Chain A
Amino acid sequence: MRWYRRNERVVLSVAGVVLFFVVWEIGSAAGFVDKFFFSSPSAIATAGASEVTKARFWDDVRITALELVVGTGASVVLAVPLGIFIGWYRRLSLTFDPWLNFFNALPRVALVPLVVLWFGLDWNMKAVVVFLGGFFAIILPTVEGVRTVERHLLDVSRSFRASSRLIFTSLVIPGTLPFIVSGLRIAIGRVLAGVVIGEFYAQTQGIGVMIYKAEASLQSDRMLFGVLIFTVLGIVLYESVGAAERYFQRWRPVREDEA
């Protein structure tokens, strides 16, 4: 009982997920969940088991992974240095402000047809869509982070005659890291949405295409198996960024309101 009270949170959230799948399974067996649309956990598991034996499935996985890795990697590699650069020069950041805000407010998926005009329907077009999702999510908080480096700490460094280089590495980078990480958190949702939309639109290859084609051939079990792959991927990514966030912010006291 004491063990339960200490772990109540974990126990109940696992119970919630298990309960969800049980109700789904029983519901589709009993008929109050429409099997045609929503399949059932056991049917999805069966579909998944047969899917992983196919070479085509692994090709899809490889393509989706390639698009995600290249697109996300490029967005991080470009957005972080560029964001720091723009944020460091106040007037430069003001000059770029309207465009950055515009692109951030713009649903990036609207750019997909344009990107297709540029790159065709191959994997690199989808990598660009992924890139666009990640880039603006990361660059805006990065600019913000550099811009809001704490003024009094900057004064401390200046009064000790710290070199710009030292100010940069001892103050700007650690101060901006939390912002970059929170940008990464936002980026996860956007890059995943980007890869899915890109693949839906291009209809060439990838897990998204598998989902789309499964729908067209009315195989809801295969379709939901594909969706679950993205769910698991999303959870893994969110957890990793969460771990990074805790690591980089370990010096930050827990605020009373959050406790």
Chain B
Amino acid sequence: MLGVRNATLALSRVNERLFFGVIGFVGVLVVWETTAQLGLYRKSLLSTPSAIWRAALTDFANGSMAPHITTSLSEFAAGFAIAMAVGIPLGLLIGSFRRVDYLFNGLLAGLNATPNVALIPLIILVAGIGYEAKVVVVFLSAFFSVVVTTFTGVSTTAARHLDITRSFGGSRWLAFRTVVLPSTFPFILSGTRIGLGRALVGVVSAEIISANQGLGFYISLYGTFLDTARVMLGIIIFGVFGVVIGEGLRILERRFEVWRPDLHR
């Protein structure tokens, strides 16, 4: 009986969230469209949902959008994959040895405080303005957050958990596999989350500043043509991309972290 009541309560909460979410979403679109049609502001400033929709249909149909998206995606994927492949092991290594942790502490704090985008000119200088340069920018953008959160996770492993392994005579390597890794995993995930956001910023920044293909370039190009609908279209695609990544990560979290009660509420 109690279970049933809880279920209906949860359902109505989900419905409430959905209901008001949809109202907010649709409401803004309607206000946006009608105020523009009524001529309350210049359409060139913000375009209109219908104009953006038409631009999307045209550019997706004639295939002029696809190369930009694939370029951005592949830069993003390559840079981010390298950042994970280098950052996670490095973070685990640094975190496992207290003195190494201390040694890198100041350095990583400094690099973390530097806005990554400020390094774009240096990267252009070293790697040019092609694909590789974008991959490097994405890599750098994501790298530090992955390293820093990973080694923070390792170095904050609860002492009482490590004591259990020691008490039963387990080796350091066993403690690493059975205690350090699982307790660091949530940190790695949150590092991934932050890193993904920054990597996306990295792609856009690099493409906006210097590129001849990619979504950032698309936005910047149509910005100079004063084609607001296409600027908005590019922005929206990036936004959708960001939302999809965030949601994907949330699903991953639920899937792999069944032991965390805070994810099951």
Contacts and interface: CB of A to CB of B under 8 A. Distances in A.
Contact present between A and B (CB < 8 A): yes
Interface of A: 8-9, 11-17, 19-20, 37-38, 91, 94-99, 101-114, 116-118, 189, 192-193, 196-197, 200-201, 208, 211-212, 214-215, 218, 220, 223-224, 226-227, 230-231, 233-235, 237-238, 256-258
Interface string B23-35: 1110110000000
A112 B231 CA distance: 10
- Secondary structure type dominating chain B contacts: helix
Q: Which of B105, B113, B220 has the most CB of A within 10 A?
A: B113
A95 B25 CA distance: 7
A109 B107 contact: no
Contact of A110 (B99, B122, B158, B219): B219
Given A9-B102, A101-B243, A103-B239, A109 B119 contact: no
A13 B17 contact: no
A111 B111 CA distance: 26
B95 to A, nearest CB: 14
Most chain A CB inside 10 Å of its own CB: which residue of B115, B197, B228, B239: B115
A32 to B, nearest CB: 15
A3 to B, nearest CB: 15
Interface string B3-35: 000000000000011011101110110000000
Which among A13, A17, A110 has the highest number of chain B CB atoms within 10 Å? A110
B70 interface: no
A107 B102 contact: no
Contacts, number: 189
A45 B94 CA distance: 30
Contact of A102 (B201, B203, B224, B239): B239
Given A20-B107, A114-B232, A94 B122 contact: no
B115 A13 contact: no
Interface string B178-216: 000000000000000000011011011100110000011
Contact of A95 (B27, B201, B219, B234): B27
Interface of B: 16-17, 19-21, 23-25, 27-28, 44-45, 99, 102-107, 109-122, 124-126, 156, 158, 160, 197-198, 200-201, 203-205, 208-209, 215-216, 219-220, 222-224, 226, 228, 231-232, 234-235, 238-239, 242-243, 245-246
Contacts of A212: 121
21 contacts: A11-B102, A13-B107, A16-B102, A37-B126, A94-B20, A94-B24, A96-B24, A98-B21, A101-B246, A106-B238, A107-B204, A109-B201, A110-B238, A113-B231, A117-B226, A215-B121, A227-B114, A227-B119, A230-B114, A234-B114, A235-B110
